[in-house]
Structure 1
Amino acid sequence: MNKKIFLIAMSTLVFMSCLNEQPKNQLPEEKIYDNAQNVYINTVATLYAYFGGTNDSQGLQGTYRGVYDYNTFTTDEAMLPTRGGDWFDGGFWQSLYQHKWTPHDVALNNTWNYLFKVVMLCNCSLRNIEEHSGLLTADQKSSYEAEVRAVRAMFYFYLVDMFGRVPVITSDKVPVNEIVQNKRSEVFRFAFNELQKVASMLPNKSSNTDGTYYGHVTRPVAFFLLAKLALNAEVYSDDDWTDGIRPNGSNIFFTVGSHRLNAWQTTMAYCDSITASGYRLASNYADNFKIHNETSPENILTIPMDKVLYPTLYKYLFRSRHYNHGAAIGFGAENGSCATVSTVETFAYGTDSLDARYNLNFFSDTLRVKGAVVRLNNGDALVYKPLEAKLDLTGSAYEKTAGARMKKYEIDLTAYNDGQLQDNDIVLFRYSDVLLMKSEAKMRNNTDGSAELNMVRARVGMPARQATFQNILDERLMELMWEGWRRQDLIRFDLFTSAYDQRTPLENEYTGYTTVFPIPANAIALNPLLTQNPGY
């Protein structure tokens, strides 16, 4: 979809009719579905408006207290410290880091609602495509349906990852009291099978470049999701994640083409399919996150951003910067999130072996803007202290300056809304992740994954390393910092419930119950057929 079509999708009000029987400001249906293009706009294109968001818990990235925050601030990657009177927020951020969430958490409930809202909108779209199929050719109908089913499967990928046992709903007409809860393995297989069925009907085109397929779920996006699902097959096939026994990926099989492959071979096969689609590493790591990053040969799926056309926000840079840092570039700031000490140590901060990506990912030490030292209100230099990050900094000498801050995206100095309405597209899936997935899958399949690991390292000028599980996990942290993958990685490596950085495990956390979030209490109250995940 080009930017014009994407703008139409972002602004339409029609689609909400699937959630509201008498929506306000709804156009007559005969004007909405009067030709094939309008059927596409109002059943398929509108779905992409929900990939990003403006309000808390809405969107896959860009906003607070949603998918991204639950996958980042629950890990050893980053934290949002309490800084005196700032950022306590009822203990929300400390609870994320300490894994003390509950079924009654409002943000968790809102995230659940957001993910299922998109699922139900997909179901509504499929019904409307069917009802207006007389306006479509057979090819149009199958391609529209394939794209919607791929989007729905993508949102089930996030649901199975975060909540495990969730209902698989394929119709927008099912009464709430008839919605049953599926086993985690069933949800996993549903998402995987749906993507396999529709992949060949999706265009084998780049999604991140401006044009017809801009922002779409295309065939390479489906391949990426299939690789990611297969890589996590041991986790997603486990219907009792608290018994200490996981299925073995070598014994989890899929049919790929005419071949019967185990989980690791399947991951490698879909990684190879992405490579065959023409993706490659950008010569410059930072180019993937520059202001106009639509030309990246590496970005597989992004959330399109345009400060004039789209309302979608990217708030994470704003959240992380010190107040005076924001003022120095002409924006506001919230002086919040930072990297953990263990993260900067993984980058070898403070040594002569500092990873080349450190200064691309973090504002650190004495801060300069356009060559000039940024000053605190008392005239002292603003110096970020990477090794002083703590969950509660209240009363510390570094209360307002502790922690290396987020830098990853080039700052769009022409952005609106304190820099939150930027022109940098938000990166969701990247080819470097594909190489690291293949490296890991090869290792899990008892072959050497060093070649792929070192392709990623060579791009940033770092020396080769032997592929080991620890080296792969470290590389994923350094390469994918601030991109929202750390929780999933720690769970797959069986480290999420361990002690790390400044976190100590909860009582009974050794069972693994916190690797899946609780089903929100409100969801169970609405549907008596839902039961709570173990441990909550």
Structure 2
Amino acid sequence: MKESMKRINKQLLMLAVALLVIFPACELQEQPHSVFTPDNYYDNESSILTSLSGVYRDFATISSMGPPYRVLELTTDQVVVHAKIQGWWDGPDFHNLARHEWTPSHAWIGDFWNQLFGTVGQANALISSLRSSDLDGLEGPIAELRALRAYAYFYLMDLYGNVPIFTEPKVDPNNLPTQNTRTEVFDFVIEELSAAAEVLPSANDVGAEYYGRLTKEAVYALIATTYLNAEVYTGDAQYDMAIEYADQVINSGAYRLLDDYHANFAADNSNNEEMIFGSVYTPNETGGIGHPFVLKVLPGITGGLFDLPFTPQNGFGTRPSVVELYEDQDVRKEMFLTPGPLTDPRTGDTVMVERIVPDGNSELYVEGESDQGPVPYEIIKADGLRNQPMNAGVKWIKWGLDPNTDGGDASNDIAWIRYADILLVKAEAQLRSGTGNPLALVNRVRERSNASPLTSLTLQDILDERGRELAFEMSRRRDLIRFGQFTNSSWEFKEPSEEYRRLFPIPTEALDANSNLDQNPGY
């Protein structure tokens, strides 16, 4: 889809917004921003693509390290934000997620709810408009919208449980939506994805210009993931169905493991053969968006080290226990900056500074110019969530540096589903159901990263391998829940929490706007 998005200018994107229906706190309201209406807007293929691209674009922002990403990752054992002495990162929103102490009024939990229902509202409006159009060949775009809407409902079901299923373009304020059960939402997701898959093209039959859009195999991959979690969502395990749909992806021959693990995350990772579906980032294109992974993660000193046009904010880190999952020769371990002298990954040289500044950014040592130093820049272990020195905490750089970054916005596309994930989905489903050869599938993934082959396989091995392979890729929360380790486990800075926190609360603003909603137990 990247080539398609390059053709979209700001004016067209504004016209697409004309049909946007927002679903804030379960109360849909139309937002008229132009004179275009469903009756006169969809008169050619370009207008359809423009609106469709707008929905993909907005959905993509979930993965860009804003509130949705934080809700998914900061609640797990992998991503952590250590508040520094200078205080920029110090705030209860971060720490309440890390400690499993959130409440129904947590701003980011409400933001995620609104964004997901925003996708639902957009899709509902556009589906209705397309169905009323006189144009031919609309089955494909409608199928994409149905699949995107189902993707949003997958997350609503996963995060919040019982939510309203709503498919109309408008809400009657006198007849607000009522909640469906989690099982009903599960059935809706499966039905909508299955219907879309019948229409969508195979990845084998589309070219590079289709990149970033949902294919038949991408939908099969999401169905496999949904069935893998069926026992959590409905109480009934359906591992045979997870295997069946994982096989639909594997047997298509459309995907493979890239030879280089890190190539999945490079700045030029578009159209790679491992990414089944992902967020497309084009910050240097008119109307495009970027993500701030490097900006938010790296220590400030690396801005000068890598000649970046910004100073990294030294925010998102990880825990030593995550690094300890990897063998030393595992190439995936190269993404971490661990306690000890910081080395330049390009040369292996120790990074030298004038002096280490605990409450600010240290300055690189420049021979002949600096009047202090040189001393090695040391990363030290963090001992808490608050009041940490600027050089404290393990860092990670999974998405590589973008030489053409637009300020802090980078263009690395971010996968929602990779082929490695589907191999591990099938392996887990086989192990849980006692079928097939799951060990071989796991070792295929490990071999690519130079990890030692396993000689036997347990469920803990599967969880650990998913943690290694898919670190920071938005799947850890549901993995921990599926393996029973989200609430009753402890990790650095988090003690066991209440079982009801396997679901987030229905946001306070949603309850205030719609009296037909009931709060989740425990909140």
Is TM > 0.5 for Structure 1 vs Structure 2? yes
> Paired residue for 2:302?
325
Instruction: Identify the match of residue 490 of structure 1 among 456, 480, 491.
Output: 480
Moved over 6 A (4+): none
1:233 aligns with 2:233: no
Is the alpha carbon distance of 1:206 and 1:298 closer, same or farther for their aligned partners in structure 2, counting shifts above 3 Å? farther
- Matched with 2:370 is none
Residue 345 of structure 1 pairs with residue 298 of structure 2: no
Contact 2:130 2:138 in 1 (8 A): yes
Partner of 2:138: 141
* Alignment counterpart, residue 47 of structure 1, candidates 36, 55, 60: 55
- Give the whole-Å Cα distance in 2 for the aligned partners of 1:384 and 1:26: 56
CA distance in 2, matches of 1:210, 1:391: 49
Aligned to 1:417: 407
Of 488-497 and 292-301, deviating more is 292-301
Does residue 153 of the first structure (1) align with residue 120 of the second (2)? Answer: no
Matched, 1:455 2:432: no
Question: Shift of residue 501 of structure 1?
Answer: 1.8
CA contact (8 A) 1:63 1:316 kept: yes
**One-letter amino acid of the structure 2 residue matched with residue 430 of structure 1:** R
Question: TM-score, normalising length from structure 1?
Answer: 0.86
> Displacement of 1:85 after TM fit?
3.0
Pairing partner for 1:268 from 232, 243, 264: 243
Matches within 5 A, 1:76-95: 76-95=77-96
CA RMSD of aligned residues (A): 2.3
- C-alpha distance 63-354 of structure 1, shift in aligned 2 (>3 A): same
The residue that corresponds to 1:444 in the other structure is 432
Structure 2 CA distance for aligned equivalents of residues 29 and 142 of structure 1: 17
Could you say if the C-alpha distance between residues 390 and 234 of structure 1 is closer, same or farther in structure 2, counting changes exceeding 3 Å? farther
SS of match in other structure, 2:291: coil
For 2:3, the equivalent position in structure 1 comes to 3
8 Å Cα contact 2:489/2:496 also seen in 1: no
Q: Give the distance between the partners of 1:306 and 1:122, measured in 2 at CA.
A: 22
Alignment of 1:100-139 (within 5 A): 100-132=101-133, 134-136=134-136
Which residue in 1 is equivalent to 2:334? 359
Match of 1:253 in 2: none
* Counterparts of 2:491 and 2:131, CA distance in 1: 52
Correspondence for 1:469 among 459, 462, 465: 459
Aligned partners of 1:390 and 1:502 also within 8 Å:
no
**Contact 2:427–2:438 (8 Å) recurs in 1:** yes
Q: Which residue of 2 aligns with 1:183?
A: 181
Q: Equivalent residue for 1:501?
A: 491
- C-alpha separation between the residues in 2 aligned to 1:273 and 1:313? 32
Report the more deviating stretch, 161-170 or 8-17.
8-17
Consecutive unaligned residues in structure 2, runs of 5 or more: 22-28, 356-372
AA aligned opposite 1:187: V
Matched, 1:389 2:382: yes
Give a deviation string over 1:454-502, Cα, whole Å, max 9, x none: 0000111111112211111111111111211111100000110023222
The alignment-based identity, stated in percent, is 31
Equivalent in the alignment of 1:293: 269
| Superposition map of 1:148-227 within 5 A | 148-176=145-173, 177-205=175-203, 211-227=208-224
Q: Distance in 1 between matches of 2:171 and 2:31?
A: 18
Report the CA distance between 1:89 and its aligned residue: 3.7
In structure 1, what is the Cα distance between the partners aligned to 2:443 and 2:32? 54
What TM-score does the superposition give when structure 2 sets the normalisation length? 0.88
Letter in 2 for 1:105: H
Indicate if the aligned counterparts of 2:82 and 2:316 stay in contact, CA closer than 8 A: yes
> Which letter does structure 1 place at the counterpart of 2:91?
G
Question: Residues 73 and 96 of structure 1 are in contact (CA less than 8 Å); yes or no, is this contact kept in structure 2?
Answer: yes
Residue range with higher mean Cα deviation, 371-380 or 314-323: 371-380
- The one-character-per-residue Cα deviations of 1:187-235 (angstroms, maximum 9, x if unpaired) are 111101111122021010169x973312101111101110000000011
Partner of 1:260: none
Partner residue, 1:533: 520
Quickly say closer, same or farther: Cα 1:21–1:520, change in 2 above 3 A: closer
Query: 2:247, 2:113 → 1: CA distance?
Result: 33
8 Å Cα contact 1:43-1:128 kept in structure 2:
no
Distance of 1:347 and 1:393 partners within structure 2: 27
Quick check: 1:498–1:504 contact (8 Å CA) kept in 2? Answer: no
On the 8 A contact 1:9/1:45 being kept in 2, the answer is: no
Question: Given residue 407 of structure 2, which amino acid in structure 1 is its aligned partner?
Answer: N
| Conserved? CA contact 2:71–2:108, under 8 Å | no
Q: Is the contact between residue 267 and residue 437 of structure 1 (CA under 8 Å) also seen in structure 2?
A: yes
Residue 394 (structure 2) aligned to one of 404, 421, 424: 404
Question: Contact 2:93/2:108 (CA < 8 Å) preserved in 1?
Answer: no
Q: 1:303 Cα shift? A: 1.4
Q: Is the 8 A contact 2:183 2:233 kept in 1?
A: yes
Which residue is equivalent to 1:513?
Answer: 500
The Cα of 1:326 is off from its aligned counterpart by 2.1
Aligned residues: 487
